[in-house]
Amino acid sequence: MKILLAEDTKDLNNALTAVLKHEGYTVDPTFDGQEAVDRIDVDSYDCIILDVMMPKKDGIEVLHILREKNILTPVLMLTAKSEIEDRVVGLDAGADDYLTKPFAIKELLARVRALTRRKTDYGTKELSYKDISLKSESLELSSENTVRLSIKEFELMQNLILNKERYVDVIHLKERVWDNAPEVKTDTVYLYISYLKRKLRAVASDVTIEGNADTGFRLA
């Protein structure tokens, strides 16, 4: 699973990145809030770990930007502050969990596992369409190259492959991928479609995604 780590303290960032990779996660480390926003604009994650106090944009600012973009990725906030008021601000802004420094690595890993736990058994181990294949065990999309998808990217691509060349409407995708969560908007679906389009280009596939909110989306 894919994690974005935004922590400006270099030693802590390096240590957390090493531990998370050792646990099997793919980690993109960033060192300021603007870099985190730039990453989120082009890629999807299963969990985002945000330090509250960062240069350029602090963790709360990044969190507000995420939620305004209808990005529902679970967010774990890290802070050196222990006051209840600071936690409330973060949780009100849309954080899913909070961890106060200093913290035990085992506790961080437990929080991350809770936030990234899969909700379903994906059944078929591998799906294919034209020149792409999709593996449920590794969440990998492959053609000439291979990339790892986030869980939501995987579930969205899975639905598109299972429906082959038929248009899949936005209502269906909201139900199957996001369990009809009330906060999921049409813009959320558009965002993840854009992520998948980038991933298809990254693996050098000839497959494209066609459609819009009116027609639905399909592979072609």
Alpha-carbon gap, residue 8 to 42, rounded angstroms: 21
pLDDT tens-digit readout, 90-105: 777 788 998 988 899 9
Tens digit of pLDDT for each residue in 109-135? Answer: 999 999 888 655 566 688 999 999 999
Residue 87 CA to residue 69 CA, distance in Å, equals 22
Determine the Cα–Cα distance for residues 133 and 84; give it in Å rounded to an integer: 47
Tens digits of residue pLDDT in 37-59: 999 988 999 999 999 989 999 99
Separation CA 63–CA 93 (nearest Å): 7
More confident residue, 165 or 108: 108
CA-to-CA separations, 146 to 5, 139, 207, 209, 214, in angstroms, rounded: 22, 10, 14, 18, 31
Which pLDDT value is given to residue 118? Answer: 65
pLDDT-based confidence at residue 88 (cuts at 50, 70, 90): confident
Q: Please give the pLDDT value at position 192.
A: 93
Instruction: Tell me the domains of the chain and their CATH numbers.
Output: 2-116 (3.40.50.2300), 126-219 (1.10.10.10)
